[in-house]
Amino acid sequence: MFFAADADGAEIDAARAAARGAGIRIGLLAPGVLEKVADAVAPQGCVTIAPDCRRTLGDLSLTGGLLVLDEVRDPGNLGAVVRVAEASGFEAIVLTGAAVDPYGPKALRGSTGSTFRLPVVEVGPILPLLETLTERGVVTMATSSHEGDDFAVIEWPERVAIVLGNEAAGLDQAVVTACARRITIPIAESVESLNLAVSAGILAFAASRRLTARGASAQVLR
């Protein structure tokens, strides 16, 4: 882990202590070096090299919720969705099609560390993935800004994949047709759609809380 020679403050001290506690070697960078090697315009005083943590679909148990993102292009959006998925207790993020790199600097910053804890799986075309998930008992739900069942009143399945599309175009009709169900977030007629990360957050927490409540009710009945 490398620190700018003039970096200080409580967060920097905590980072140094955590690095030492984990046995990570620490180095100091001369003034101006960090600004040249870091991607951010105003880096936060330290950088590090992390091991590759890429996962495959075979690494997943497919017993929890999945957020499937098709053709997502904005790294900041992707990072925010990864953060949402971890916060809501989802099992993983699955990226399909020509998606942005989840390990690019902006996507990593947007996830605030969630990418290193939550599996982020990159696959090819989405239709074979949907077929595989269906065969393995996962209910696929296509999101739409204009049609589908109201997310707030549906009965969420225990094993679900919420499928969200590209920021500009949404989901292709063939993808919507291939999914088992369609869901929507009702919004004012004057608004065309919601931001991808906002939509993912609303749906992921709705599914997570409904399933948690159902589990608690089952425990009481026992």
Q: Where are the domains positioned within the chain? A: 2-47, 57-221
Q: Provide the whole-model pTM.
A: 0.87
Strands (E), 80-152: 92-96, 120-122, 139-144, 149-150
pLDDT of residue 221: 40
Reported as a single tens digit per residue, the pLDDT across 107-156 is: 999 999 999 999 999 999 999 999 999 999 999 999 988 889 999 999 99
Assess contact for 31 and 8: CB atoms under 8 A: no
Indicate the DSSP class of residue 141. E
Closest CA to 182 of 141, 130, 126, 150: 141
For residue 29, pLDDT over 60 is answered with: yes
Closest CA to 66 of 141, 177, 132: 141
Reported as a single tens digit per residue, the pLDDT across 170-201 is: 899 999 999 999 999 999 989 888 999 999 99
CATH architecture of 57-221: 3-Layer(aba) Sandwich (3.40)
pLDDT of residue 219: 43
